[in-house]
Homo-oligomer: A and B are copies of this chain.
Amino acid sequence: MTDFAATKAMFALPEGMIYLDGNSLGPMPRATAERVRHTIEDEWGEMLITGWNKAGWMQKPTAIGDRIARLIGAEPGHVVMGDTLSIKVYQAVASALELNPTRKVVLSDSGNFPSDLYMVEGLVKSLGPDYALRVVAPEEVSAHITDDVAVLMLTEVDYRTGRKHDMKALTEQAHAAGVVTVWDLAHSAGALPVDLAGCKADFAVGCTYKYLNSGPGGPAFIYVAPRHADAARPALSGWLGHAAPFDFDLNYKPGNGIERMRVGTPPVLQLAALEASMDIWDMADMADVRAKSIELCDLFITEVEARCPDLTLASPRDGAGRGSQVSFRFHEGYAAMQALIARGVVGDFRAPDIMRFGFTPLYIDEGDVRAAVDIIEDVMTNALWDRPEYKTRNAVT
Interface positions of A (Cβ within 8 A of B)? 12, 14, 17, 19, 21, 24-25, 27-28, 32-33, 36-37, 40-41, 44-46, 48-53, 57-58, 83-87, 90, 94, 110, 113-115, 117-119, 121-123, 125-128, 135, 207, 209, 215-220, 233-242, 246-252, 263-271, 273, 341, 346, 348, 350-351, 394-397
Contacts and interface: CB of A to CB of B under 8 A. Distances in A.
A25 B265 CA distance: 11
A20 B252 CA distance: 29
A140 B58 CA distance: 35
B118 A252 contact: yes
B84 A264 contact: yes
A249 B112 CA distance: 11
Contacts of A234: 122
A118 B268 contact: no
B57 A28 contact: no
B41 A33 contact: yes
B110 A250 contact: yes
Given A19-B48, A248-B351, 15 more contacts: A28-B44, A32-B40, A36-B37, A83-B83, A86-B238, A86-B263, A90-B236, A118-B239, A122-B235, A122-B252, A125-B235, A217-B266, A217-B268, A217-B270, A248-B350
Given A236-B119, A264-B115, A267-B270, A348 B396 contact: no
Contacts of A40: 28, 32-33, 36, 215, 273
